[in-house]
C-alpha cells in the first residue's frame, strides 16, 4: 500500500502534527508511533459445501499505559493490518479523551460476511477468538462490535473464551446481549453520543434542531441510531446512504418508517423504501450526499470518505464523525479554510466505547444498571468531554480535532511518564 493511502500513515501524521505543536517529549512520541502488540492469525473454516477456506485475522493493541486495551472487531473484505493498527491508535486517543481507564486496540478479519452463512460466520468467529485468546481477557484486552459484527458475534466470542477457561467470563467482550451480561443502552450508545455532541456543536453555531437539516452516510448501527435520536430531537434528515445506494428527500425522510423498513429487509438496506428518491450505487449516492445543502453532515460508514477530491463540495456547516477516520488530513485543511466545524471521531463516536466501559464495570461487579442510569451517565460524560475539548480548542486557538488529540495525547503521555519504561 502506498503511503498516500495508508490509514496508519495518516494516523501517524496526525500524531506527529499534534506532538510537534505540543512539544511532546520525543521519547514518548516515538513510543506512541508504534503499536505495542500486533497478532496476525490464520482462521481456517470448513465452509458449508465442505471445502476449507482460510481467512486472515488481526488483533492489534496500540498502547496500554492507561489500562487494559479496548476496541472493536471488524469483518470486511478491505480489512488490512495497516487499517487495524490505525484504528487501534485512534482507540487509544478516544478512550483518553473521554477519560476511560483503557488503552486502544482493534481487530478484524478479511472476509465478506454478506457472502457467508450464519454457520460459517459462527465458526469463523469461534476460531478467530480461540486464536487471539492468548492476548485478550477482561484484564488484558476487551473486544467489541464494529463494522459487520454485532451482539450475536460478541455472544460467540464470549462463549468461546469462556469454554477455553472453563467458566463464564462476560467481561471479555462488550456489546453483548443483556441476557449474557450486556448493558442496557449499549446497542444505541454510539448514535446517542453522536447526536449529543452534534446538538452541542449546533447550539454553538446558533442552529436550532427544528430548522436544521442533516445528511447521514451509512445506515448501520451508528447511522441508524444517530438518525433515530436526531429525528426524535426534531432534526430533518434529508439524505442517507448505505452500501447499496442513497435515499434523498428535501422535506425530510420519515426515519421511524425507514428504520422499520431496514429492520424488515433481509440485507438490512435502505433500498425499496418508498419515502424518498432512491439512487443506486454508493459512489454516486455518496457524492450527492456530501454535496447536499444540509446544515450538518454525519459520515457514519467507513474511513477515507471525505478527501481532498471531494471536500470542496461539502456545503455543511458542521461535520460530526460517527465513523472512524472518515476525513483525511488534506480534507481537514480544505474544510478548515471553508470554516466547516469538524467534531472529530475520537470525541463524536466515543459513546459506544463509553457504554462498553459501563458494561465491563457491570460485568466485573455482577451488578447491573437501569437504562436510565446508563443513558444519564453517557450524556454526562459526552457533554463533559465536548466541553473539555472545546476549552482546549479555545485556549490553544485550534480546531476540535487538534484539541481532542492534544487532550488525549497529554493524558497518555502523563501515564507513560508516571509508569516509565520497563525494565
CB of 300 to ligand NAD, least distance (A): 6
Q: Rounded to an integer, what distance in angstroms lies between the CA atom of residue 25 and that of residue 128?
A: 38
Residue 400: C-alpha distances to residues 83, 141, 387, 388, 390 (Å): 23, 29, 11, 10, 7
Which stretches of 270-399 are assigned E, i.e. beta strand?
277-280, 296-299, 318-320, 341-343
Q: Which residues lie across from 71 on neighbouring strands?
A: 143
User: Which of 28/142 has CB closer to ligand NAD?
Assistant: 142
Q: Any idea which residues carry the catalytic annotation?
A: 106
User: Which of 146/399 has CB closer to ligand NAD?
Assistant: 146
CB of 262 to ligand NAD, least distance (A): 8
User: Which of 348/412 has CB closer to ligand NAD?
Assistant: 348
Residue 391, phi then psi, degrees to nearest 5: -65, -45
Helical packing angle, 189-204 and 351-365, nearest 10°: 140
226 exposure class (CB count in 10 Å sphere: 0-12, 13-18, 19+): buried
Residue 210 backbone zone (phi > 0: left; psi -120 to 50: alpha; other: beta) = alpha
Q: Rounded to an integer, what distance in angstroms lies between the CA atom of residue 416 and that of residue 65?
A: 6
Q: Rounded to an integer, what distance in angstroms lies between the CA atom of residue 116 and that of residue 136?
A: 26
CB of 404 to ligand NAD, least distance (A): 14
User: Which of 353/413 has CB closer to ligand NAD?
Assistant: 353
CB of 244 to ligand NAD, least distance (A): 7
CB of 120 to ligand NAD, least distance (A): 18
CB 103 within 8 A of CB 62: yes
Grid cell 470448513 in the structure block, residue: 46
User: Which of 159/242 has CB closer to ligand NAD?
Assistant: 242
**Closest by CA position to 74, among listed 93, 55, 92:** 55
CB of 60 to ligand NAD, least distance (A): 14
| Positive or negative: CA dihedral 204, 318, 300, 100 | negative
CB 17 within 8 A of CB 32: no
CB of 21 to ligand NAD, least distance (A): 26
Angle CA 346–351–356, to nearest 5: 110
User: Which of 127/282 has CB closer to ligand NAD?
Assistant: 282
User: Which of 130/304 has CB closer to ligand NAD?
Assistant: 304
Cell numbers given for 359: 458494561
**Interface with ligand NAD by CB under 6 A: which residues?**
145-148, 190, 217-223, 241-243, 282, 286, 300-302, 322-324, 349, 352
Amino acid at each position: 500500500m502506498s503511503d498516500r493511502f495508508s490509514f496508519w500513515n495518516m494516523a501517524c501524521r496526525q500524531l506527529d502534527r499534534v506532538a510537534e505543536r505540543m512539544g511532546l517529549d520525543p521519547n514518548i512520541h516515538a513510543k506512541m508511533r508504534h503499536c505495542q502488540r500486533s497478532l496476525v492469525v490464520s482462521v481456517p473454516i470448513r465452509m458449508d459445501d465442505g471445502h476449507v477456506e482460510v481467512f486472515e485475522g488481526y488483533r492489534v493493541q496500540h498502547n496500554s499505559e492507561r489500562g487494559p486495551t479496548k476496541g472493536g472487531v471488524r469483518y470486511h473484505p478491505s480489512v488490512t493490518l495497516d487499517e487495524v493498527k490505525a484504528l487501534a491508535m485512534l482507540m487509544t486517543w478516544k478512550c483518553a479523551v473521554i477519560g476511560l481507564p483503557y488503552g486502544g486496540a482493534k481487530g478484524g478479519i478479511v472476509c465478506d460476511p454478506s457472502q457467508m452463512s450464519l454457520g460459517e460466520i459462527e465458526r469463523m468467529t469461534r476460531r478467530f477468538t480461540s486464536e487471539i485468546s492468548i492476548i485478550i481477557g477482561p484484564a488484558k484486552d476487551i473486544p467489541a462490535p464494529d463494522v459487520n459484527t454485532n451482539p450475536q458475534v460478541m455472544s460467540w466470542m464470549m462463549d468461546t473464551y469462556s469454554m477455553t477457561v472453563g467458566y463464564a467470563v462476560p467481561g471479555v467482550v462488550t456489546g453483548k446481549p443483556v441476557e449474557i451480561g450486556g448493558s442496557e443502552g449499549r446497542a444505541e450508545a454510539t448514535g446517542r453520543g453522536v447526536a449529543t455532541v452534534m446538538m452541542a456543536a449546533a447550539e454553538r453555531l446558533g442552529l436550532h434542531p427544528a430548522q436544521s437539516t442533516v445528511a447521514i452516510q451509512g445506515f448501520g448501527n451508528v447511522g441508524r441510531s444517530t438518525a433515530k435520536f436526531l429525528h426524535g430531537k426534531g432534526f430533518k434528515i434529508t439524505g442517507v446512504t448505505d452500501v447499496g445506494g442513497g435515499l434523498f428527500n428535501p422535506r425530510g425522510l420519515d426515519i421511524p418508517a425507514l428504520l422499520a423498513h431496514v429492520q424488515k429487509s433481509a440485507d438490512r438496506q435502505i433500498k425499496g423504501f418508498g419515502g424518498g428518491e432512491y439512487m443506486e450505487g454508493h459512489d454516486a449516492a455518496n457524492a450527492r450526499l456530501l454535496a447536499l445543502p444540509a446544515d450538518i453532515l454525519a459520515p457514519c460508514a467507513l474511513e477515507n470518505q471525505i478527501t481532498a477530491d471531494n471536500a470542496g463540495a461539502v456545503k455543511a456547516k458542521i461535520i460530526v464523525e460517527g465513523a472512524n477516520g472518515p476525513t483525511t488530513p488534506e480534507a481537514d485543511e480544505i474544510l478548515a479554510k471553508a470554516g466547516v466545524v469538524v467534531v472529530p471521531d475520537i470525541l463524536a463516536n466515543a459513546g459506544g466505547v463509553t457504554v462498553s466501559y459501563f458494561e465491563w464495570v457491570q460485568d466485573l461487579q455482577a451488578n447491573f444498571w437501569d437504562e436510565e442510569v446508563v443513558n444519564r451517565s453517557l450524556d454526562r460524560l459526552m457533554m463533559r468531554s465536548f466541553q473539555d475539548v472545546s476549552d482546549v480548542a479555545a485556549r490553544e486557538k485550534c480546531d476540535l480535532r487538534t484539541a481532542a488529540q492534544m487532550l488525549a495525547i497529554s493524558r497518555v503521555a502523563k501515564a507513560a511518564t508516571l509508569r516509565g519504561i520497563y525494565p
